[in-house]
Amino acid sequence: MGANEYDIKKSSTSERKDEFPMFPWNLFPFNKDTKNKMQQMRPAEIQKYVHDMMDKLMPESLQKMNTDEMFQNMSQMTNRQTGAEPNKFDYLVFETHHHVYVRIPIKEEIWLERVKVYYTSSQLIIQHIPDEESKHTINLPSLVRRKGSTANYKDGVLEIMIQKNTQVQYSEIEVSDLH
């Protein structure tokens, strides 16, 4: 066995720990004492450390933002969308790795009888709810396939599931020399 090779079978766990560290504590911004310091810190000290680091990394304009107020406003906007008005059209859009979901609360049974659902590669169109002449266009968060969608009604919610389109088609545009 060469001078630079280790005999792992004969070495003890503590010897291997020193020879093959699991985490490079000696690299910036960590050193050997960082692990010990983090274990001894109290939650308030950790919060102060993270806050100080974020202040150093964030631009001054972002530091002046009141995040509590911003999140409160976002929560109020969400609550307004899902209000309790009987003839108001509410919906929720979210996506997973493979699908886009749209959930629509159905407030009256007649809505299910007259609703029409259409979609393009980027939009969902809902017609005839809450009123017969209503038409709503919902922008989808990603491109979707033409086939493979389902709509299910359960517990007062119409859930529409559409498969994402993972096959993006590219077209090349030739750039000609104008000189």
What digits encode the pLDDT tens for the residues 76-97? Answer: 444 444 444 556 788 999 999 9
Query: pLDDT band for position 145 (50/70/90)?
Result: very high
Query: pLDDT band for position 161 (50/70/90)?
Result: very high
**Average pLDDT rounded to a whole number, residues 17-27:** 52
- Do 152 and 95 share a structural domain? yes
- Do 29 and 60 share a structural domain? yes
Whether residue 45 is contained in a domain is answered as: yes
Give percent above pLDDT 70 in the chain: 61
Q: Which helix (H) or strand (E) element contains residue 48?
A: helix 43-57
Whether residue 60 is contained in a domain is answered as: yes
Query: pLDDT band for position 115 (50/70/90)?
Result: very high
Whether residue 169 is contained in a domain is answered as: no
- Other beta carbons less than 10 A from residue 100's beta carbon: 24
Whether residue 71 is contained in a domain is answered as: no
Question: If you average pLDDT over every residue of the chain, what do you get?
Answer: 75
Whether residue 141 is contained in a domain is answered as: yes
Least confident of 31-40, 122-131, 134-143, 157-166: 31-40
Structure tokens at 62: 């972002």
Instruction: State the total domains in the chain.
Output: 2
Partners of residue 101 on adjacent β-strands:
94, 161
Whether residue 32 is contained in a domain is answered as: yes
- Do 111 and 48 share a structural domain? no
**Per-residue b or e along 141-169, where b marks 16 or more CB atoms closer than 10 Å to that residue's CB:** eeebbeeebeeeeeeeebebbbebbeeee
Domain containing 137: what range? 85-163
Of residues 60 and 104, the one with the higher pLDDT is: 104
Whether residue 79 is contained in a domain is answered as: no
| CATH number of the CATH domain containing 96 | 2.60.40.790
